[in-house]
Amino acid sequence: MTDNENAVIRLSVGADERGLRLDRFAADHASELSRQRVKQLILNGAVTVNSQICTDASRKMRPDEMVSIAVPPLEPASYGAEEIQLDIVHEDQDLIVVDKPAGMVTHPAPGHSSGTLVNALLAHSQGQLSGIGGVQRPGIVHRLDKDTSGLLVIAKSDRAHKGLSEQFAAHGADGRLRRTYHAVVWGQPERRVGKISAPIGRSRTNRRKMAIVEEPEGRHATTHYKIVNSFKYGENEAASLLQLNLETGRTHQIRVHMASIGHPLLGDKVYGSGFKSSARRLPTMAQSALTELDRQALHAAVLGFGHPVSGENLLFESPLPADIEALISALGSVS
Query: What are the φ/ψ torsions at residue 216 (nearest 5 degrees)?
Result: -85, -10
Give yes or no: 145 in active site: yes
Q: Which of 23, 94, 99, 145 is catalytic?
A: 145
Please state, in angstroms and rounded to a whole number, the distance separating the CA atoms of residues 269 and 295: 8
Pairing mode, if any, of strands 47-49 and 66-71? antiparallel
Q: Peptide bond before 264: cis, by omega within 30 degrees of 0?
A: no
Cβ(271)–Cβ(264) under 8 Å?
A: yes
Cβ(6)–Cβ(44) under 8 Å?
A: no
Q: Alpha-carbon Rg of the chain, whole angstroms?
A: 23
**Partners of 66 in the beta sheet?**
12
CA distances from 81 to 51, 125, 142, 268, 303 (A): 39, 10, 20, 31, 26
Catalytic residue annotation: 145
